Every structure is written in structure tokens, then in C-alpha cells.
Amino acid sequence: MKKRIFSGAQPTGELHIGNYLGALKNWVALQDEYESFFCIVNLHAVTLPQKPEVLKQKSLDLARIYLASGINPEKSTVFIQSDVSEHAELAWILSCVARMGELERMTQFKDKGKGNAERAGVGLFTYPILMAADILLYQTDLVPVGQDQKQHLELTRDLATRFNRDFGETFVVPEPFIPPIGANILSLQEPTKKMSKSDENANGSIFLLDDADTITKKFKKAVTDSGTEITFDESRPAIKNLLTIYQLMTGKTAEECEANFVGKGYGHFKTETAEAVIEFLKPFQQRVKDYSDEDLREILKTGAAKARAIARETLTDVYAKMGIVGAAN
């Protein structure tokens, strides 16, 4: 039996190269070895206000991006979270297992809630519980995500362990898979912060659908560190970040990357990095156009049916263990 992976992204904003390098690229690499589930988490998206028409379109567009990235729907199950209502059901159960204190420690809530808990939506607070439900429903072994999700994975493991202890072995306790390189791609404008979909400064992020001109301009404007050397040096995060992007886009080793830029200036370095990204994105952007909305809906329907069968099995077990039985039983 193959081990399972589960991961997801929110259908909000524009996907950027951080999402690709930190998450999607690894999903694609792992899908042969693992039985894979890739979800479009639209229920997570509404933890912040969304325009209904936009959310609807973005959900399909994200499926398109998954496939263009190389996710093969013949091998992997691709589906939309709201098509499998078991996610919301298990989230309720887990919200009775989770503790206020552990959610209060989640740094993403502090960031997204802008430090104002009084005004923040309750869903934003309980968001990691829904994420735990996503993962645990599929008896997931491994969860490939970027660095920013590590804390949510730890909570998921704690909830699974606690449930198993209180009600008997029910859930597989999942492991995070955080890539050694690329798990935290930084903003090109503020290289102390991660590259983010919700950044007000669009120059900080390279979006997967940016055209060549835009990409060149954004790299030209990228902030650098003082000094002249182009090396992977922790103390010079801006240069290290650009070099990491260059490395992952070209598939070179760290040594080859550093050697490539010996004696060259930042201007040249930025141009070459922009070119590597443009080169990489060209076929990707072409593939995005290959899928019609109809094709995608078919794939998502098939995916939801496969996902639902497994999710229902887990939820039935959870309810039985807890003594939650309806009139028919």
C-alpha cells in the first residue's frame, strides 16, 4: 500500500513562485510515490472576506494551476473542499478536542487578525482546526507545505494524538514535509517577510501568471544587501533569496550557482535570475490555457467522489467511537 499525502492551497489572490517552490513543486514530485490528495480549500478562503463571484472563479483557476504545475489527475485526487462536507463535520468534532490556549498560540492568526482579536472573525481563529480535519480525514502520512504551515501541522498532530488517546486509535498522526530549500521564499521588496499573496506591494511577489516584462521589472527593483558577493549567506537574506530562486528555477547545485556569479555584479545577477524564471514560467503559462472550465469541472467531480468515500469512512469511525449516533442506529 502506498503512503498518503494531502495538501491544499486557498483559492484567493494570485499564486506566486513561493507557493510553487514551497509547495506545488513538491506535490508534483511526490505524486508518483504517494497516493495523493490535493485540495482547493475554499472553506478556508472565507475566513477573510471574499467576493462570491471572484471566489467561484478562483476555485476553478486554482485547479487549472495545479494541473499546469504537473499534477496528474489520473494519479492524484484533485477536489474542492466544499464538495466534501465531511471536512466541515470533522472540523466541528476537532473544535471540541482543541483548546483555546493552543489556538491562541498560532502565529498566523496573530498576523492575519492584525493583532486585533476582538474584531477578527471566529473562523480565522479556528482555521487551523479545519486544516487538521482536512488532513486527518484521509489518514494522511505526509503533508508537503511551506514553512509557514509548520505550526498548523504540529497542532494537527497534537489533535490526532489526543483523539487517539481519548477514544482509541483512529487517526494516522501525519508528518510535515517541508522542503530543505524553498520552504520560505521572501518578498523581493522586504526580504524579512515571506512572499505573500496578500502583500500590498505587488513588486514583492512574482506571480505565476506575470508576463516576461513584469518579471524583469520586478527583479530589477528587487532590494539587495550591501556588499557585492553573490553567495548563500544567512546574513544577507535578500541575495540568498534571489540565489535560492535562481537555484530552484535552474536545477543547479548551490556551488554551481555561486560559481556562475563570481565576479559578476548585482545587475547581471538580477537579469539572469529573471530570465531563469521567465524560461521556467513560459511552458507553465502555456499549459494553463490547455484546460477548459468543463474539463476542470469533470476532474473536480471525479476527485470529490473519490475523496468523499474515504472521508466518510473516517468520519463514520469517529462518530462511532464517540457515541454520536442518529435515530437510525
Binding site for ligand AMP (CB under 6 A): 9-10, 18-19, 22-23, 145-146, 148-149, 183-185, 194-195, 197
Distance CA 298, CA 302 (A): 6
Q: Distances from the Cα of 55 to the Cαs of 2, 46, 60, 62, in angstroms? A: 34, 9, 9, 10
Instruction: Give me 22's grid cell.
Output: 514551497
C-alpha R_g of the chain: 21
Please say which residue, 102 or 111, places its beta carbon nearer to ligand AMP. 111
Please say which residue, 86 or 134, places its beta carbon nearer to ligand TRP. 134
Nearest approach in angstroms of CB 57 to ligand AMP is 16
Give the range of 128-136, 183-191, 276-284, 304-312 binding ligand TRP by CB under 6 A.
128-136
Nearest alpha carbon to residue 224 among 237, 233, 205: 237
Q: How far apart are the first and last CA of the chain?
A: 32
- DSSP symbol at 203: G
Instruction: Give me 37's grid cell.
Output: 490528495
Binding test (CB under 6 A) with ligand TRP, winner from 149, 189, 196, 205: 149
Q: Which amino acid is at 62?
A: L
5 binds, among ligand AMP, ligand TRP, none (CB under 5 to 8 A by kind): none
Q: Per rule CB under 6 A, is residue 62 in the interface with ligand TRP?
A: no
10 Å Cβ neighbour count for 105?
A: 13
Please say which residue, 91 or 276, places its beta carbon nearer to ligand TRP. 91
Q: Per rule CB under 6 A, is residue 9 in the interface with ligand TRP?
A: yes
Give the range of 24-32, 145-153, 216-224, 227-235 binding ligand TRP by CB under 6 A.
145-153
Q: Classify residue 97 as exposed, middle or buried by CB count within 10 Å of its CB (0-12, 13-18, 19+).
A: middle
Residue nearest to ligand AMP (CB): 22
Distance CA 86, CA 94 (A): 12
Nearest approach in angstroms of CB 99 to ligand TRP is 19
Return the residues of window 17-56 that contact ligand TRP according to CB under 6 A. Answer: 41, 44
244 binds, among ligand AMP, ligand TRP, none (CB under 5 to 8 A by kind): none
Nearest approach in angstroms of CB 22 to ligand AMP is 2
64 binds, among ligand TRP, ligand AMP, none (CB under 5 to 8 A by kind): none
Max CA distance (Å), the chain: 76
Binding test (CB under 6 A) with ligand TRP, winner from 4, 5, 10, 195: 10
Q: Per rule CB under 6 A, is residue 7 in the interface with ligand TRP?
A: yes
Instruction: Identify whether the C-beta of residue 7 lies closer than 8 Å to the C-beta of residue 23.
Output: yes
185 binds, among ligand AMP, ligand TRP, none (CB under 5 to 8 A by kind): ligand AMP
Binding test (CB under 6 A) with ligand TRP, winner from 17, 143, 296, 311: 143
10 Å Cβ neighbour count for 302?
A: 14
- List CB contacts of 243: < 8 A, sequence separation 6 or more: 230, 231, 232, 257, 258, 261, 273
Nearest alpha carbon to residue 162 among 108, 218, 96, 117: 96
Question: Which residues are the active-site residues?
Answer: 112, 194, 197
19 binds, among ligand TRP, ligand AMP, none (CB under 5 to 8 A by kind): ligand AMP
Binding test (CB under 6 A) with ligand TRP, winner from 129, 131, 304, 315: 131
10 Å Cβ neighbour count for 253?
A: 10
Question: Residues interacting with ligand TRP, by CB under 6 A?
Answer: 6-10, 41, 44, 131, 134-135, 143, 145, 149, 152
